[in-house]
Chains A and B, each alone.
With several copies, the nearest count.
Chain A
């Protein structure tokens, strides 16, 4: 009788191919919001919108926030949230500028230091969340405040410039080199704007980490069902601490990029960047409940946010209306890119 039982073939080869194509289409769905904005940009401003310089400028302006968004995505995937990334970017940028101004360090010395500073505070976030079991919202909100205070204190509330001139009136070699982090106009091969490159590289690296490594799998497991993960031998505490540390490290890395972009480290740098970063992740499909989201999604979310700004700006929409339209389009984009859109429109479908 067992033969009859095994009969229902769950995966006929033909069906499986169709299924896969369908699910790939479903993934394509995720880009509809972005396509919509690109379409509007091209329709309204054509060449002015769709040219390398403009797109580079647009994405470059968001690059440091995009990098924050990658870190925040990691944290969100485990079911937490990181509100401190804006402040951590701030202290990262201040660290970079001070290292440059006071100690004339080279970029390759500055970056690891900034990343270490960010990672340290990120680790504290993780420790508070995992060991003291403080809700990450509270822990990182407190960190936001603490780090901002420290940032302002070490800088004495004065912004620190990064375009340090030597005795000859020209930029010092270190200051010159520092500009590659993203002072507008400094490009690789005269074409590729470094912060955009950095953002893309960070996205690729963390995409690979999340999809190809054990650690990535554990991140999803912790967010998807922490109990199940624990019972399967996943070290939930370690994973939690790791994602916060990585998020802090990335924020530290974004610091010099922001400092170079502004050619100075402002004690207020990064203020409320956390909201942009979280928005990019969530628009990209990450669920604040944890366990659901991808770096590709976050990348798309970041593009949506920054290109939307760009399109509205190029169209010279007044700022107040920009705020209104931006909110509306984000809603439309999020609705359009849900994977079950068609099913949803047909009505039905229950939670």
Chain B
């Protein structure tokens, strides 16, 4: 690659009306959270008429695929690149290549191990885990037993959501995590695990799921065993889809969930700024909102994008 300037790349398009081309490599489309992110990003970028988002590339959870996707985008000489890495390390070199090719890179959601990117936008999983832990402490004032459904063990969000949670519940020594298993982020995996926990006849007071589907999978198992009322369920993600966490809170299935911000809006704004030569913040860490029965309806309306695209 012979280092073309980012804007020079659209020469072929010529003419006065210049359209910027943006590529986005998503780590895995088929997670509800990421599907939502895609939807939002498309929605927000549409509001900038001179920006064209290429069809979103789905790495299907494979770092190797994602690296070649980033390389494809470099080959296509996109004007800006957004990446949601599957894992930090594998994408580092690819992002470096984009950087060398003078293509601005926005890292969305998960980090990479290089500073050579233009902006990072993402949630703080340790923070969210901590909030969930604080909620658990609040829900179990007299202490109690918690079971934890983890995401894929080696995923960074799993590690962070676990870390923050454990930090927070240390506040009450009478709260104990009595069991934890890998639910792999999947609802269907969580149900039998919860069933086994229930079979072990231990007192379970709260289920902490690293995402809403797992918490809900556990809820199904508890409901079947007639124990759903005596157990609290806390999840993370808070998606505004009919099958998502906000609705589950509204229905009383989850005691609480925490919105893991997609950052789509911020990403769209940042892309626009960068493409027009404006300064953009290098690191934007997004907060979270706790979804409760009270604010659920309103949050759903706020984040619901169905019908807008």
Contacts and interface: CB of A to CB of B under 8 A. Distances in A.
B159 interface: yes
Contacts of A269: 63, 188
A184 B220 contact: yes
B239 to A, nearest CB: 9
B195 A264 contact: no
Given A266-B154, A319-B58, A158 B241 contact: yes
**Residue from A64, A155, A183 with most neighbouring chain B CB atoms (10 Å):** A183
Interface stretch (A1-9, A52-60, A126-134): A52-60
Interface residues of A, number: 48
**Residue from B65, B97, B100, B224 with most neighbouring chain A CB atoms (10 Å):** B224
Contacts of A156: 35
Interface in B120-163: 152-154, 159
**Residue from B97, B188, B220, B241 with most neighbouring chain A CB atoms (10 Å):** B188
B64 A48 contact: no
A61 B30 contact: no
A156 B35 CA distance: 8
Contact of B1 (A53, A60, A158): A53
Interface residues of B, number: 69
Given A184-B67, A184-B224, A313-B69, A53 B90 contact: no
A158 B153 CA distance: 8
A258 B96 contact: no
B3 interface: no
Contacts of B182: 319
Interface of A: 48-49, 51, 53-54, 57-58, 60-62, 64-65, 101, 152, 155-163, 165, 183-186, 258, 261-264, 266-269, 271, 309-310, 313-314, 316-320, 322
28 contacts: A51-B75, A51-B199, A54-B71, A54-B75, A54-B195, A54-B199, A57-B71, A57-B196, A61-B64, A61-B67, A152-B30, A152-B154, A156-B35, A158-B154, A161-B89, A161-B243, A184-B93, A184-B97, A185-B96, A185-B100, A262-B64, A264-B89, A264-B187, A266-B30, A310-B196, A318-B55, A319-B29, A319-B56
Interface of B: 1, 29-32, 34-36, 38, 54-58, 60-65, 67-69, 71-72, 75-76, 87-90, 92-94, 96-97, 100, 113, 152-154, 159, 179, 181-182, 186-188, 191-193, 195-196, 199-201, 213, 216-217, 220-221, 223-226, 241-243, 251
